[in-house]
């Protein structure tokens, strides 16, 4: 990491959306992280010298550009794309990335809440899961991007250059997502969904395997980021 002037930047968008397994992975790999809050920090973080930027999940929609925190994330990731800083987008972060690359963010035909397996085109990077999901919207494939995984309801992952977006939550633990279910109870009730927390709890036995799959995914993204950095230095 001595080649980089600054730590990798992690963008957190609320109190209940921590980096979780991403932070655990970074510690194990000796990769320094700086956590920046889109909902709290007033100044735009500096991007020069960053090995990558990771944008986490959010209760907001990537379409809510009138919301200051969302507008700030759109602006930051747009700068990262322009400067060639690799971006890892996780759920909301992936939706922001898709939108900036020319895709769309739209209401999903039904929310994906709980544990889901994916049909993967690149099992070495993205395992079939099951992965934890918690989203009401979905992204479409941006022009020039490569689709990596899908469910019957949504595109689940794509890559373009050094950038990777996923619709699921590799960083999240069951306890984190159960907290989202508890927080979303009024919204779930309005949708006629009464088992939000139970959906997470029913798959808790998958947590150990999901953790290993997440670490593998982060390793794959990191390799892509380093390869991009090496090419840009040539």
Q: How confident is the model over 201-218, as pLDDT tens digits?
A: 999 999 999 999 999 999
Contact 118, 80 (CB under 8 A): no
- In the chain, the domains with their CATH numbers are 8-108+135-173+213-233 (3.40.50.880)
pLDDT at 52: 97
Greatest C-alpha distance within the chain: 56
pTM of the model: 0.95
Q: How far is residue 228's CA from residue 234's CA, in Å, rounded to a whole number? A: 10
Give catalytic residue positions.
91, 169, 171
pLDDT band at 1 (very low <50, low <70, confident <90, very high): very low
How high is the mean pLDDT of the chain? 95
Write out pLDDT tens, residues 8-51.
Answer: 999 999 999 999 999 999 999 999 999 999 998 778 899 999 99
Q: How far is residue 174's CA from residue 186's CA, in Å, rounded to a whole number? A: 20
pLDDT at 232: 72
> What are the structure tokens assigned to 220, written together?
């794959």
Q: Is 22 left (phi over 0), alpha (psi -120 to 50) or beta?
A: alpha
Q: Give CA torsion, residues 199, 205, 209, 211, to 10 deg.
A: 60
């Amino acid at each position: 990491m001595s080649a980089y002037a600054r730590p990798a930047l992690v963008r957190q968008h609320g109190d209940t959306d921590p980096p979780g397994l991403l932070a655990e992975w970074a510690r194990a790999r000796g990769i320094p992280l700086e956590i920046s809050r889109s909902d709290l920090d007033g100044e735009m973080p500096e991007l020069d010298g960053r090995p990558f930027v990771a944008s986490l999940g959010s209760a907001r929609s990537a379409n809510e550009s009138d919301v200051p925190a969302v507008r700030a994330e759109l602006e930051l990731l747009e700068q990262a794309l322009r400067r060639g800083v690799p971006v890892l987008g996780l759920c909301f972060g992936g939706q922001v990335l898709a939108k900036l690359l020319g895709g769309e963010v739209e209401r999903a035909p039904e929310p994906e809440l709980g544990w889901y397996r994916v049909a993967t085109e690149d099992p070495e990077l993205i395992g079939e899961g099951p992965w934890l999901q918690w989203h009401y919207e979905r992204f479409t494939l941006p022009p020039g991007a490569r689709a990596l995984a899908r469910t019957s309801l949504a595109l689940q992952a794509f890559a373009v250059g050094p950038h990777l977006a996923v619709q699921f939550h590799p960083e999240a633990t069951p306890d984190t997502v159960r907290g989202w279910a508890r927080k979303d109870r009024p919204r779930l009730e309005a949708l006629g969904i009464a088992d939000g927390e139970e959906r997470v709890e029913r798959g808790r036995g998958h947590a150990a395997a999901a953790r290993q799959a997440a670490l593998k995914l982060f390793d794959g993204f990191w390799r892509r980021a380093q390869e991009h950095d090496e090419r840009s230095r040539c």
